[in-house]
């Protein structure tokens, strides 16, 4: 990634070259390719190598939670019908409410991430659009169309897209910019200054 001065971008914390869309995670203390966010629930960064796994995890997690909700519904109805608050009935009530709540949360979060993938954006990029050499920014700089965007993360096989297998396209370092983006403005990491690299502490 090239900065406004034309030199390669180097992480000021860990000192490595930062490709486009890479960011340093203060929690993990390392740079992550196409960093989306740090997830406290999985205690891990969500980025290029596991973004698909994260979304698939949310999807199947929601399915599982709703399955529990549906199968516990008859017992939930029975609880309210008889109103006998015993320990076992309370556990069913708790199970129904928690599974429904987590199912909705995972469905909403998974849907939001699918929306971002469809726009080829990360959570971080929604807060700050990628900047170019001339100082301008474009929030849709990497948007190649919904179909292509989805294929970059989930792959071209629709069946395998539903399972936790690596089908993500690309290498997380080189990115294609959307049509209409001027090549001279791109923040690519191909134009480099070795002097800048050697002088970086």
Query: Rounded distance, CA 108 to CA 117, Å?
Result: 14
User: Which residue among the candidates 39, 65, 105, 158 is catalytic per the annotation?
Assistant: 39
pLDDT at 133: 66
Tell me the pLDDT of the chain averaged across its residues: 83
Which bin fits 52, alpha (ψ -120 to 50), beta or left (φ > 0)?
alpha
pLDDT at 140: 85
Task: List pLDDT tens digits, range 35-52.
Answer: 999 999 999 999 999 999
Instruction: Report the percent of the chain where pLDDT is more than 90.
Output: 57
pLDDT at 31: 94
Is residue 186 over pLDDT 90? Answer: no
Task: List pLDDT tens digits, range 41-94.
Answer: 999 999 999 999 999 999 999 999 999 999 999 888 887 776 666 666 778 888
Is residue 181 over pLDDT 50? Answer: yes
Is residue 195 over pLDDT 50? Answer: no
Q: Is 39 a catalytic residue?
A: yes
Query: Lowest-pLDDT range, 53-62, 158-167, 184-193?
Result: 184-193
- Read out DSSP for 145-191? -HHHHHHHHH-S-TTGGGSSS----S-SS--PPPTT--GGG---SSS
23 falls in which pLDDT band (50, 70, 90)?
A: very high
Cβ atoms of 1 and 185 within 8 Å: the answer is no
pLDDT mean over 147-151: 96
Is residue 171 over pLDDT 70? Answer: yes
Cβ atoms of 47 and 34 within 8 Å: the answer is yes
pLDDT at 32: 95
């Amino acid at each position: 990634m090239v900065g406004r001065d034309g030199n390669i971008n180097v992480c000021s914390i860990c000192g490595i070259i930062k490709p486009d869309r890479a960011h340093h995670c203060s929690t993990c203390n390392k740079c992550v390719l196409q960093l989306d966010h740090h997830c406290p629930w999985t205690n891990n960064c969500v980025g290029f190598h596991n973004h698909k796994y994260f979304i698939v995890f949310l999807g199947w997690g929601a399915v599982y939670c709703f399955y529990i909700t549906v199968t516990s519904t008859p017992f939930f109805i029975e609880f309210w019908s008889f109103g006998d608050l015993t320990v076992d009935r309370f556990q069913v009530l708790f199970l129904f409410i928690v599974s429904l709540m987590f199912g909705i949360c995972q469905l909403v979060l998974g849907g939001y991430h699918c929306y971002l993938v469809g726009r080829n954006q990360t959570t971080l990029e929604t807060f700050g659009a990628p900047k170019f050499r001339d100082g301008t920014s474009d929030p849709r700089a990497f948007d190649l169309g919904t179909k292509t965007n989805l294929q970059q993360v989930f792959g071209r096989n629709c069946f395998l897209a539903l399972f936790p297998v690596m089908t993500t396209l690309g290498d997380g370092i080189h990115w294609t910019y959307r049509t209409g983006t001027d090549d001279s403005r791109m923040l690519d990491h191909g134009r480099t200054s070795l002097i800048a690299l050697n002088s970086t502490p």
